[in-house]
Amino acid sequence: MALEAGDELHIASLDLLHFRNYDAFHLDDVGYLTILVGPNAVGKTSIVEAIQLVTALSSFRTSKASRLVKWGETRAHVGARLVGESRDLEIGLDIVGGSRSYKLNGKAKRVSDLTGLLPAVTFTPDDLHLVKGSAAARRDALDALGAQISKNFAAVRGDYVKLVKQKNRALKAEEADAYLASIDDVLVRVGVQVLSHRMTIVSRIQPYFQRFYREISGGSERVELNYVPCWLRGDDDELTRYAFDRDEALARLEAYGRAMRPVERARRRAVAGPHADDVLFLLNGRNAVHFASQGQQRCIVLAYKLAEAAAIEDATGRKPVLLLDDVMSELDEHRRAYFMEFVADDIQTFITTTNSAYFTDAMKRRARVVRLGEGTA
Q: CB-side exposure of 228: number of CA atoms within 13 Å? A: 22
Give, to the nearest 10 degrees, the angle between helix 177-217 and helix 151-172.
Answer: 140
Are the C-beta atoms of 59 and 53 separated by less than 8 Å?
A: yes
DSSP 320: P
The domain boundary residue, chosen from 261, 294, 327: 294
DSSP 319: P
Rounded CA-CA distance 328/305 in Å is: 14
H or E stretch including 353?
A: strand 349-353
Question: What CATH number is attached to the domain comprising 285?
Answer: 1.20.1050.90
Question: What CATH number is attached to the domain comprising 113?
Answer: 3.40.50.300
Are the C-beta atoms of 322 and 121 separated by less than 8 Å?
A: yes
Within this chain, do residues 93 and 191 fall inside the same structural domain, yes or no? Answer: no
Within this chain, do residues 169 and 189 fall inside the same structural domain, yes or no? Answer: yes
189 burial type by CB count under 10 A (0-12 exposed, 13-18 middle, 19+ buried): middle
**What is the bridge-based pairing of β-strands 120-123 and 107-109?**
unpaired
| b/e map 6-22, b = 16+ CB within 10 Å | eebbbbbebbbbbbbeb
Within this chain, do residues 155 and 88 fall inside the same structural domain, yes or no? Answer: no
3 inside domain: no
E runs forming strands in 262-304: 278-283, 286-287
188 inside domain: yes
Look at residue 242 in the predicted model and tell me its pLDDT: 63
Positions in the chain whose pLDDT score sits under 50? 1-6, 237-238, 375-377
For residue 222, the tally of other CB atoms under 10 A from its CB is: 12
> What total number of domains does the chain contain?
2
Within this chain, do residues 175 and 275 fall inside the same structural domain, yes or no? Answer: yes
305 inside domain: no
Look at residue 7 in the predicted model and tell me its pLDDT: 67
Residue 324 has phi, psi (to 5 degrees) of: -115, 105
Are the C-beta atoms of 120 and 52 separated by less than 8 Å?
A: yes
Within this chain, do residues 108 and 20 fall inside the same structural domain, yes or no? Answer: yes
Within this chain, do residues 98 and 15 fall inside the same structural domain, yes or no? Answer: yes
329 inside domain: no
Residue 140 has phi, psi (to 5 degrees) of: -60, -40
Within this chain, do residues 220 and 280 fall inside the same structural domain, yes or no? Answer: yes
Beta bridge partners of 370: 36
Rounded CA-CA distance 138/195 in Å is: 14
Rounded CA-CA distance 342/345 in Å is: 5
Look at residue 50 in the predicted model and tell me its pLDDT: 97
Share in percent of the chain as helix, strand, coil (round to 5): 45, 20, 30
Measured on CA atoms in the order 369, 373, 376, 377, is the torsion positive or negative? positive
**What is the bridge-based pairing of β-strands 223-228 and 120-123?**
unpaired
Look at residue 338 in the predicted model and tell me its pLDDT: 85
Within this chain, do residues 83 and 147 fall inside the same structural domain, yes or no? Answer: no
CA distances from 349 to 36, 217, 325 (A): 11, 23, 11
Within this chain, do residues 169 and 113 fall inside the same structural domain, yes or no? Answer: no
302 inside domain: no
Within this chain, do residues 152 and 178 fall inside the same structural domain, yes or no? Answer: yes
Are the C-beta atoms of 144 and 197 separated by less than 8 Å?
A: no
Report pLDDT digits (tens) over 147-170: 999 889 999 999 999 999 999 999
Angle at 218 between CA 292 and CA 291, to 5 degrees: 10
82 inside domain: yes
Whole-structure pTM value: 0.90
Give, to the nearest 10 degrees, the angle between helix 135-149 and helix 294-316.
Answer: 20
Within this chain, do residues 30 and 73 fall inside the same structural domain, yes or no? Answer: yes
Look at residue 340 in the predicted model and tell me its pLDDT: 83
Look at residue 179 in the predicted model and tell me its pLDDT: 96
325 inside domain: no
Nearest to 291 by CA among 361, 222, 371: 222
311 inside domain: no
Look up the domain containing 168 and give its range. Answer: 129-294
Within this chain, do residues 176 and 270 fall inside the same structural domain, yes or no? Answer: yes
